[in-house]
Structure 1
Amino acid sequence: MKLNLTTGLVPTLNVSAALIAFVVLRCWTQALGRLGIASRPFTRQENTVVQTCAVACYSIARTYEMAGEDTEGNVPGSYKEPGIAWMTGFLLAVSFVGLLALVPLRKVMIIDYKLTYPSGTATAVLINGFHTPHGDAMAKQQVNGFTKYFAMSFFWSFFQWFYSGGDNCGFSQFPTFGLKAWQQTFFFDFSLTYVGAGMICSHLVNLSLLLGAFLSWGVMWPLISDLKGNCRHTRKQHEKPARIQGEDILVLDELHRNEVFARDNIPSWLAYTGYLALSIIAVIAIPMMFHEMKWYYVVIAYLLAPALGFCNAYGAGLTDINMAYNYGKVALFILAAWAGKDSGVVAGLVGCGLVKSLVSISADLMHDFKTGHLTLTSPRSMIIAQAIGTVMGCIISPLTFLLFYNAFDIGNPEGYWKAPYALVYRNMAILGVEGFSALPQHCLQLCYGFFGFAVAANLMRDLCPAKYSRWVPLPMAMGVPFLVGASFAIDMCIGSLIVFTWHMIDKNKAALMVPAVASGLICGDGLWIFPASLLALAKISPPMCMAFRSTH
């Protein structure tokens, strides 16, 4: 919460949660053993469930949209004073629906589509490494590889921190291909997290990302920047593989994981009924909290949210990027324009929070299902753990927010507690009440064109013979660099290049070690986020700024 209110950035702490859960519970069971109290061994399934509960709890703290009554552009009554009752009620009303929206599709996403969910995979490899029997030679080799690259990634992130003391500083802003390319985000930012994710994702996903990066940051944005005077708003800066040694074991493991994952069935009727019941509660409760949010706005949001949640979860499975905030922005603009000037600001912000919460929780749950699939954990246990963590988050987050809100000057742009994204979302809502007239010229035409391209590309992938369809890029993956920059795509392609080269040199070892090495890179970089967050909370800044400038 503190990081959210000061910098607006909330890191992913799945790896940290898994590690802390292991350390605490292993120490607890060992302490009980020394006291002569018999206890069951601490298992990887328990580790997974605790990690899921912790992540569900802290994820609730990532949501806020607020601004004071004197914020520029506000109209009378377009604000609501924070209070423990309505904040807790709102979170309880909207947070649980996301747990049920995609439950009927979990087998499709995890088993049929075989989506990688790199963060979920990395967390599972970490947990499996903690609980691997020492006698398994293959597992021991994987654990050794994981540990080696985990340590390398962690200390590399630690080393990078010393040079990142300021805006656009450090190795993450290294102009690999020159300053001109750097200005268009074409550079390698030394993020081992995304290099590892690229090693887990398929070559097609990574090449689609790179194609999207060239199309957006290499072609479209430079052309659009030349026309910025004509816009009201400008942007901010399948062949069958040969069998390999050990493949039979890997196939049997996969079949066993699929059998365990499918065995513990969650009835679809329960998910549908629960979604309907919770939606009815939200349709009744939310308009009572915010009179600007009409009941039919909530109905429309809950009708659209499952489709948006599927799109986001599918994209997260391909690229490891959770785009929930962008889907929330779509809802914000639509509802703000629909509600009009008098009530559009509040309606847009509430609708944004509602859709973003559902879409984000659905994607987080699929990440956890992937972890559970790889650690042989019951899906029902994962759902229950997620629900318990969500209840905790719905109670703890408002209390924590009000503690900061009453003790500090939250939302002051000149102060320490800037709450930067509160003002950003508020201004987007104020802009949204103007409707389509607020968009740049030809924005809708471009939207229609790319929508048509996405439909055509997916039809080609489904209808054309395999020898042609495997070369058709993935529109979902192509769209990600439009929003996050080209450097992310370059990181992922470097991971893909490592895997391709490794398979050329030693296919047998690559098949065994790539998941472990990639997970080590992701987890090491991810674990550094925890001490880095503690340093930020203690107001300890990096001592140096490494930056580059042109000599001309």
Structure 2
Amino acid sequence: MSRTHDEINNYQDWRLIPWNLKPHIIQITPRAIIAGLFIGTIILISNFQFGLQTGWVSMMSLPSALLSFAIFKNLQPFLNLEFTDVENVFIQSIAVATGTGPLAYGFVGVIPAIEIFLQKDETGLNSTIKFSLIDLIIWSTGLAFFGIFFAIPLRNQVVVREKLPFPSGSATATLISVLNNSKIYNHHDENKIKIDDNDNGSQLLIGQSNDESNESTNLIESQDLKNFKLSKSYNDNIKSLIKTFTISSIYTILSYFFPILRNIPLFGSNLSENYLWNLQPSPAYIGQGIIMGLPTVSYMLFGCLLGWGILAPLAKFMEWAPGPIDDWKTGGQGWILWISLSVMVSDSIVSFIVVTIQSILKLYYYQKNNYQIVDDNDDTKISNNDDLNQIPQDQLIGMKIVIIGLISSSILCIITMIYLFGIEIIPIYSLIVAIIIALFLSILGVRALGETDLNPVSGIGKLSQLLFAFIIPKNHPGSVLVNLVAGAIAEAGAQQAGDLMQDLKTGHLLGASPKAQFIAQIIGTIWSIFLSSIMYKIYNLVYEIPNKIFRIPTAIIWIDCSRLVTGIGLPPMAFEFSIIFGIIFAIISILKNIYKNDEKFGKYLIWLPSGVAVGVGIYNTPSFTIARFLGGIIAYIWIKKIGIEGKTSMIVFSSGLVLGEGLFSIVNMILTSLNIPHF
């Protein structure tokens, strides 16, 4: 170690240090941990706000990288140790691990489904379930770690050997390298990302988001990121972030005192009162629409028109759903939710199957043509793999730690679930099977994320629920509860594994230490366990959830999916319509996945709607979707007018809108708890 550090000290500028020595640069520092937890806390609060409202949760990789650089750029004159790109990676890794807690631990879906919608006879306990703060911490702890240990052994295969693109992770690495004026590791392969004066810019995805559906976000190009090198460009973007953050914050506070700002009856009082057609001009929703891009929000608008403009009024007129339109049980909203669920599940599962088959075929072809096992003096070696051992061994996580961690975290998951629900309700064998299924599905989810930038955690959770319908007898007491727990385990594993693998891709391109990133993930996860649990209790203490603001639609989807696969009946005609639309969007999903790279037909696929986006448009009320559509229109016009150079500024602009409203929701929460009157 001392020899290595002596080698590093020989370089006057850390940017000149070779890639294979960069993992030894100091990355784990108190300042980095504090900064990462601070940024991650902001993201977590924001994700809670929008997760409970619409199910939309974002990893916020790009804003995390930008904010951490901005903090230390201003502090640099006062620092004894210069801020580096690998320390930037470490901070971003902590922030992402912290910020995605609301989704990973089920606080925007499974937990409210269990607490609020699960009936007494569905628990097996003949009583409803309410979690204390300690219970929530125990629940989160049980789900928090096995996904991390799942991911570590996959690094060599998917990041080093196959060099899967992981577009969002690669783009984040590109941004960090440009901000810090450093270099990205050149793999000498087709997936490399190299920034030089002749680079025209390869398209990358920035800032992956999760709708419990993981709809991707806007395209941004590395040529645009190059422009970040210019001081003026950087300063302009920071000013833009501050301005949009301020505007969004002001709107958030004003919307508390003037609730009309949340539901403007733009289409008249009749459509507003009877069919919930309103406009909520939320800067955050507009920002989310900018990030998602025009195609995705157009699919959501199509789903909105289909669900709230056609199907819900039809169900009310035909008296299939005679109750108030916003009633989950007897109204149109509850009726069209089954259509939404059918569309999303069929699209997710078909996409998942197609991507899995394609990944297996690619893996087989890759192994067959690139990795031949050769026998050299009775020692088995892998040929044609010059990158595998370039990271120093002391900067990798050894298999001993992986095995111990995997076994320990799995046992911890089993113990916590039995403690919370009892062995009579949650049999040990069901938890073991759930973890094995989660392991398998996490591997496939990581590969899907690496190739498509979509980690299908929603589809993975639903697929696990479907599988458990065959594992747990329908007459088992608490079969619905067991189904929900199994889905939560699968979703948590896939989310955690995907987060870490994407961060490992970012770190690999810049020469960060995998061990340091693993530690960052553990630190962020532990902090997120406690903070997520506390925030959930605070929201439920201050607000009566669900309400008009926090409709928790994904919780409804979780409980309805569990009831569906365990044999609970549907409303009149919902089954027939669900089958029809499920088949239609399964066919569309097959076409979009098989022909997406086809030169002849691929360009026309954009006109076929994404089932997941359509489903989101159906289950969210129109006010959410319309605002996002406006954001998509702004993004389209922005790029048309400004061109390629405006993409980074557009993402930064929208990030300020999202973070401002998300963070200042805390102020509204305080005002609510103090019973400050509205105007």
Shift in Å at residue 512 of structure 1? 0.8
Distance 1:76 1:216, change over 3 A: closer
**How large is the Cα RMSD of the aligned pairs?**
5.9
| 1:440-519 equivalent positions in 2, closer than 5 A | 440-461=571-592, 462-463=594-595, 465-472=598-605, 473=608, 474-505=610-641, 509-519=642-652
* Structure 1: distance between partners of 2:566 and 2:496: 29
| 1:111-510 equivalent positions in 2, closer than 5 A | 114-118=204-208, 139-165=230-256, 169-179=259-269, 182=272, 184=275, 188-229=279-320, 233-236=330-333, 277=407, 281=411, 285=415, 288-289=418-419, 290-291=422-423, 292-302=425-435, 304-305=437-438, 307=441, 310=445, 327=462, 334=469, 338=473, 340=475, 342-344=477-479, 346-362=481-497, 365=500, 381-394=516-529, 428=559, 432=563, 435-461=566-592, 462-463=594-595, 465-472=598-605, 473=608, 474-505=610-641, 509-510=642-643
**Matched residue SS, 1:357:** helix
* Structure 2: distance between partners of 1:197 and 1:376: 32
Distance 1:142 1:23, change over 3 A: closer
Is residue 533 of structure 1 aligned with residue 574 of structure 2?
Answer: no
* Structure 1: distance between partners of 2:270 and 2:458: 28
Shift in Å at residue 511 of structure 1? 0.4
* Structure 1: distance between partners of 2:474 and 2:248: 46
Shift in Å at residue 518 of structure 1? 2.9
Residue 52 of structure 1 aligns with an amino acid whose one-letter code is: S
* Structure 2: distance between partners of 1:117 and 1:216: 29
| 1:56-95 equivalent positions in 2, closer than 5 A | 56-57=97-98, 59-60=100-101, 63=107, 64=111, 76=125, 90-95=139-144
Verify the 8 A CA contact 1:78 1:343 in the aligned structure 2: no
Shift in Å at residue 498 of structure 1? 3.3
Distance 1:77 1:218, change over 3 A: closer
Deviations 1:286-336 (A, max 9, x none): 564331112343345345546488399869x88999859985995799599
* Structure 1: distance between partners of 2:445 and 2:457: 12
Residue 524 of structure 2 aligns with an amino acid whose one-letter code is: G
* Structure 1: distance between partners of 2:146 and 2:669: 34
Distance 1:386 1:456, change over 3 A: same
Task: Work out the percentage of aligned pairs sharing the same amino acid.
Answer: 17
Q: How many residues get paired?
A: 494
Verify the 8 A CA contact 1:119 1:320 in the aligned structure 2: no
* Structure 1: distance between partners of 2:241 and 2:45: 28
Verify the 8 A CA contact 2:297 2:625 in the aligned structure 1: yes
Verify the 8 A CA contact 1:322 1:363 in the aligned structure 2: no
Shift in Å at residue 198 of structure 1? 3.9
With 55-64 and 39-48 compared, the bigger mean Cα shift is at 55-64
Residue 174 of structure 1 aligns with an amino acid whose one-letter code is: I
Partner of 2:147: 98
Shift in Å at residue 197 of structure 1? 4.2
**Matched residue SS, 1:293:** coil
Shift in Å at residue 223 of structure 1? 1.8
Residue 527 of structure 1 aligns with an amino acid whose one-letter code is: G
* Structure 2: distance between partners of 1:446 and 1:116: 36
Residue 633 of structure 2 aligns with an amino acid whose one-letter code is: L
Verify the 8 A CA contact 1:199 1:499 in the aligned structure 2: yes
Partner of 2:173: none
Distance 1:294 1:221, change over 3 A: same
Shift in Å at residue 522 of structure 1? 2.0
Residue 589 of structure 2 aligns with an amino acid whose one-letter code is: N
Deviations 1:352-408 (A, max 9, x none): 54344334445655775787699886666444311222234446767x599x79xx9
* Structure 1: distance between partners of 2:147 and 2:602: 33
**Matched residue SS, 2:280:** coil
Distance 1:527 1:386, change over 3 A: farther
Shift in Å at residue 344 of structure 1? 3.3
* Structure 2: distance between partners of 1:365 and 1:12: 16
Shift in Å at residue 216 of structure 1? 2.4
**Matched residue SS, 2:140:** helix
Shift in Å at residue 188 of structure 1? 4.6
Shift in Å at residue 97 of structure 1? 2.8
Verify the 8 A CA contact 2:448 2:454 in the aligned structure 1: no
Is residue 521 of structure 1 aligned with residue 657 of structure 2?
Answer: no
Partner of 1:49: 90
Distance 1:512 1:53, change over 3 A: same
**Matched residue SS, 2:281:** coil
* Structure 1: distance between partners of 2:491 and 2:477: 23
* Structure 2: distance between partners of 1:409 and 1:220: 32
Verify the 8 A CA contact 1:79 1:346 in the aligned structure 2: no
With 470-479 and 59-68 compared, the bigger mean Cα shift is at 59-68
* Structure 1: distance between partners of 2:556 and 2:529: 21
Segments of 5+ residues of structure 1 without an aligned counterpart are: 34-38, 238-259, 546-552
TM-score, reference length from structure 1: 0.65
Partner of 1:250: none
Distance 1:401 1:425, change over 3 A: same
